[in-house]
Structure formats: structure tokens, C-alpha cells
């Protein structure tokens, strides 16, 4: 059953792409809270401090008080980052220049997890030192220019306020933040950092506005066919959750599993028949069944059948 669920999830991965990362960051937040956080670019652990220093402003990065080596000691030897490796990417192509990609945002957020153990100014010192060591002075300066803009966005004072119970507030929040991201970061970097999150929120919002049920959490079981279930009801639920294309892919998966179940049942019947033959020894029965498996199954399916029927 676990493998069947994995296959089913794979069948709808396209339908959930762009939302899975966002959902997994939200933990136990409600649907409305998740949507609001997506609209503001929020994710637990990465945008929890959003709010800024007043309308339209941003908090400056404070001056560092530690050296890069001292920050490394605090975070990687004594702190919560010990035993970890930086996530994300420097987004450098051909070793020569930055190219916008979401990996740099992920790299910034990895280091920002150290806030509380060291200041953001100290974190900035560490990022700059690591970029310079790995990539050289020129690229490091370019990376820090993006970081400073990113931190400006991180601490921006938004004009529009989100009210969870009032969906009319959601889109103004989203539109303001989408616009400010491009003003601060530029179109290319804003798209690289936030476009997938923005698209997911837009799809989510449109689905709510249409009266459709909200997209499911990726950990939520995919509606499956089972004895006694109404196929039309299962299909309708899949279409509502994932869309028509994904529902068709799930139907194809159902058909594959139904065919597998049929072939496995036939193998069980044949093994029972062979075991009932009085003129064959146990070894001959095993050999006879092995020939059946070789004839009717291929590759890994043979291994699965042998295991399920407890053949040698």
C-alpha cells in the first residue's frame, strides 16, 4: 500500500508543483494562515520576522560585532547549525557571474537561521567571507548587493495589512509585496526568488474564489479506489483537488494496480494448484512455479512475486 501511495503521489506531482514546498514549510497552520503567508512570501522559519520598521521602510543591517571565524564558532561548533551543510546555491554560472536562481535565497535563509545566536550583521559578515573564499572578491560583492536588497525586503514595512477572516485583504497584500519585491530586487531576481510561491498563491486564491475546496496538504492521502467506493465520487474528489489532467493520471495508476492485482491473484491460484499436485516433490513444485513466474512476470515484478508467495 505504501508503494501504491508513492506511485499515486508521483502521478499528481505536476498538479502540486509550486505548492509542495510552500505547504511543507507551513506545519500545522490553517488554510487561511498558509495562504496569507504565501501571499506575503512567508514561510515558517524564513519570514516569521516580516513587518519592518514602519510603513514603506526597512531596517538597516546592524554593524557586525564578531569576525567571520567567531561567527563560525558560534553557529557551526557551538550553535544549532553544527553538523549541517549550507543549503541552496551561490547561483554562479561558469564560475564568472551571478545568474538569478532561487538557490541564493535558500542560501541566505540557511545562514539567517543563526539569528538569535549572532546578529544579522554578524551573519552578513559570515556570508561575505564564505562567498569571497569560494568565489572571489568581485562575485562576493555582487552576492552581498543582493543580500542587502533581500534584507531590505525582509524588514520592509508593508502598507496593507492581512486579516485572516477577510479574504478581500489578501490580494492587496499580495499585489503590494509582489510589486515591492521587483522594485527592490529587480524583475529577474524577484522572479527567481518568489515566482513559484506567487503562482501557488494565485492558484490557491483563484480556487477559493471559485468555490472549489482548497488544495490538499501533500501529506494528505490521495483519494483512492477501494471496494465499496463509488468510482464517480472518487473521480470527482480528485478533479476538485488536483484538476482533470491529474485525475486522469491517477486513473491510469489505478488501472496499472488493478492489472497487477489480477496477475498476482492468478499467480497465487497457480501456486495453490501446484502445491496440491501429489506426484511432485517440494523441489519440483518450486521449480514448476519458478517457470510460471519467469513466463508471466518481468524484472522486478518477478522478485516481488517470489517474495509475496514465499518462493525460494
Q: Are residues 112 and 35 in the same domain?
A: no
* DSSP annotation string for the chain: -HHHHHHHHHHTHHHHTTTHHHHHHSTT--HHHHHHHHHTT--TTTSTTTTTTSTT--PPPPPP-S-HHHHHIIIIISSTTTT----S---EETTTEE---HHHHHHHHHHHTTBTTB-HHHHHHHHHHHHHHHH-HHHHHHHHHHHHHHHHHHT---SS---TT-GGGHHHHHHHHHHHHHHHH-HHHHHHHHHHHHHHHHHHHHHHHTTPPPPPPTTSPPP---TT--HHHHHHHHHHHH-HHHHHHHHHHHHHHHHHHHHHHHHHHHHHHHHT-TTS-HHHHHHHHHHHHHHH--HHHHHHHHHHTT--
Report if residue 282 sits inside a domain.
yes
Pick the closest to residue 135 from 92, 80, 88 (CA basis): 92
Give residues with Cβ within 8 angstroms of 256, minimum separation 6.
7
pLDDT at position 126, please?
97
Q: Are residues 41 and 168 in the same domain?
A: yes
pLDDT at position 68, please?
95
Q: Are residues 44 and 73 in the same domain?
A: no
pLDDT at position 236, please?
82
Instruction: Report how many domains make up the chain.
Output: 3
Distance, CA of 280 to CA of 271 (rounded, Å): 13
Q: Tell me, yes or no, if the pTM score tops 0.75.
A: no
Report if residue 176 sits inside a domain.
yes
Q: Are residues 105 and 161 in the same domain?
A: no
pLDDT at position 44, please?
32
Q: Are residues 30 and 161 in the same domain?
A: yes
Q: Are residues 191 and 249 in the same domain?
A: no
Q: Are residues 141 and 85 in the same domain?
A: yes
pLDDT at position 243, please?
76
Q: In the structure grid, which three cell numbers stand for residue 142, read together?
A: 555582487
Distance, CA of 255 to CA of 268 (rounded, Å): 20
CB of 89 within 8 A of CB of 130?
no
Report if residue 217 sits inside a domain.
no
Phi, psi torsion values for 97, nearest 5 degrees: -150, 160
Report if residue 269 sits inside a domain.
yes
Question: Going residue by residue through the chain (312 aa), what tens digit of pLDDT does each one get?
Answer: 444 444 444 443 333 333 332 332 333 234 444 444 444 444 333 333 333 444 566 667 778 789 999 999 999 999 889 889 999 999 998 878 899 999 999 999 999 999 999 999 999 999 999 999 999 999 999 999 999 999 999 999 999 998 878 989 999 999 999 999 999 999 999 999 999 999 988 988 888 888 766 666 555 666 676 666 787 888 887 787 777 887 888 888 888 888 999 999 999 999 999 999 999 999 999 999 999 999 999 888 888 898 899 887
Phi, psi torsion values for 236, nearest 5 degrees: -60, -40
CB of 46 within 8 A of CB of 56?
no
Q: Are residues 92 and 128 in the same domain?
A: yes
Q: Name the region of 215 (left: φ>0; alpha: ψ -120 to 50; beta: rest).
A: beta
CA torsion, ordered 155, 161, 162, 168, to nearest 10 deg: -140
Q: What's the Cα-to-Cα distance from 17 to each of 12, 20, 93, 239, 246, rounded to whole Å?
A: 9, 6, 25, 16, 12
Report if residue 1 sits inside a domain.
no
Domain extent, residue 115, equals: 68-154
Report if residue 133 sits inside a domain.
yes
Distance, CA of 83 to CA of 213 (rounded, Å): 41
Report if residue 60 sits inside a domain.
no
Distance, CA of 57 to CA of 60 (rounded, Å): 9
Give residues with Cβ within 8 angstroms of 312, minimum separation 6.
286, 306
Report if residue 88 sits inside a domain.
yes
CB of 106 within 8 A of CB of 89?
yes
Amino acid at each position: 500500500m505504501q508503494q501504491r501511495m508513492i506511485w499515486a503521489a508521483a502521478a499528481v506531482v505536476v498538479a502540486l508543483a509550486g505548492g509542495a514546498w510552500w505547504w511543507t514549510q507551513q506545519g500545522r497552520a490553517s488554510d487561511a494562515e498558509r495562504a496569507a503567508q504565501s501571499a506575503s512570501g512567508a514561510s515558517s522559519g524564513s519570514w516569521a520576522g516580516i513587518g519592518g520598521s514602519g510603513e514603506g521602510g526597512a531596517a538597516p543591517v546592524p554593524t557586525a560585532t564578531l569576525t567571520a571565524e567567531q561567527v563560525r564558532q558560534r553557529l557551526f561548533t557551538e550553535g544549532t547549525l553544527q553538523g549541517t551543510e549550507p543549503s541552496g546555491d551561490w547561483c554562479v554560472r561558469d564560475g564568472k557571474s551571478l545568474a538569478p536562481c532561487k538557490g541564493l535565497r535558500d542560501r541566505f535563509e540557511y545562514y539567517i537561521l543563526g539569528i538569535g545566536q549572532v546578529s544579522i550583521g554578524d551573519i552578513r559578515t559570515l556570508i561575505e567571507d564564505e562567498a569571497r573564499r569560494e568565489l572571489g572578491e568581485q562575485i562576493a560583492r555582487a552576492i552581498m548587493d543582493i543580500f542587502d536588497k533581500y534584507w531590505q525586503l525582509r524588514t520592509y514595512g508593508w502598507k496593507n495589512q492581512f486579516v485572516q477572516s477577510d479574504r478581500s485583504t489578501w490580494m492587496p497584500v499580495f499585489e503590494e509585496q509582489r510589486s515591492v519585491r521587483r522594485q527592490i530586487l529587480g524583475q529577474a531576481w524577484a522572479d527567481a526568488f518568489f515566482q513559484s510561491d506567487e503562482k501557488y498563491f494565485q492558484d490557491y486564491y483563484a480556487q477559493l474564489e471559485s468555490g472549489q475546496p482548497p488544495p490538499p496538504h501533500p501529506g494528505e492521502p490521495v483519494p483512492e479506489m477501494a471496494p465499496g467506493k463509488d468510482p464517480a465520487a472518487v473521480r470527482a474528489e480528485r478533479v476538485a483537488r488536483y484538476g482533470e489532467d491529474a485525475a486522469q493520471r491517477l486513473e491510469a495508476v489505478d488501472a496499472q494496480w488493478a492489472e497487477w492485482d489480477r496477475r498476482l491473484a492468478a499467480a497465487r491460484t497457480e501456486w495453490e494448484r501446484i502445491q496440491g499436485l501429489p506426484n511432485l516433490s517440494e523441489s519440483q513444485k518450486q521449480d514448476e512455479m519458478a517457470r510460471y513466474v519467469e513466463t508471466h512476470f518481468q524484472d522486478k515484478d518477478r522478485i516481488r512475486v517470489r517474495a509475496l508467495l514465499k518462493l525460494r
